[in-house]
Structure 1
Amino acid sequence: MDHARPVKRSLTLRGHRTSVSLEDIFWKKFRDYAEIDGRTINGLAAEIDAKRGDIGLASALRIYVLERALRKD
C-alpha cells in the first residue's frame, strides 16, 4: 500500500496552528468531504476537534471519514 504511512499535515483551528499525522487515503477523503460540503478543511477540522472528547485529533478525523463513508445518505 502506498498510503500506509501517516504524513504530518498542518491545520489552523480557531486561529491556532497545529499538525496532525494522517495516511493519504484519510486525508484525501477528508478534503473531499470538506469540498463536497462547501467548507474549508480548517473549518471542518475545528468542528470535529470541538466534539472529539478525549481522543486524539488524528483519530477523530479518521473516525469522521470512516463514519461518513459508511453512511447511506
Structure 2
Amino acid sequence: MNGRPVKRSLTLKGHRTSVSLEDAFWAAFREIATERGVPINALAAEIDANRDPGTGLASAIRVFVLNRYRG
C-alpha cells in the first residue's frame, strides 16, 4: 500500500467531488460501507451531512474510519 493520498471521485447530492485519501483509508472506508450494506457514495454523503463545516470531507472520512476501528 502506498502512503500517499490518492484522489478519487464521489457523488454527493448529485454532484461530483474529489477526495484524496491514502490507500489504507480508501480500503477501510469501502469495508465499512460494505459492512453497512450501503454504497460508498451514500456513506460519504452521511459523513458530509454530519461534519463540522470547518472540517474538510477527507479529514472527516479519516476520523470516521479511525473512530470505527477504535471503538
Gaps of 5+ in 1: none
Equivalence for 2:59: 59
Tell me the residue number matched to 2:13: 14
Q: Which amino acid aligns with 1:37?
A: R
How high is the TM-score relative to the length of structure 1?
Answer: 0.93
State the identity as a percent: 63
Inter-partner Cα distance in structure 2 for 1:25 and 1:3 = 8
Q: In the TM superposition, what is the alpha-carbon distance from 1:3 to its structure 2 partner?
A: 2.2
Q: Which residue of 2 aligns with 1:70?
A: 70
The one-letter code of the counterpart of 2:48 is D
For 1:43-54, list aligned pairs within 5 A. Answer: 43-53=42-52, 54=54
For structure 2, list consecutive stretches of 5 or more residues without a partner in the other structure: none
Q: Which residue of 1 aligns with 2:26?
A: 27
- Residue 68 (structure 1) shift: 0.2
User: Which portions of structure 1, spanning 4 or more consecutive aligned residues, are displaced by more than 3 angstroms?
Assistant: none
Query: How many residues are aligned here?
Result: 70
Which TM-score applies when normalising by structure 2? 0.95
Distance, in Å, in 1 between the alignment partners of 2:22 and 2:67 is 16
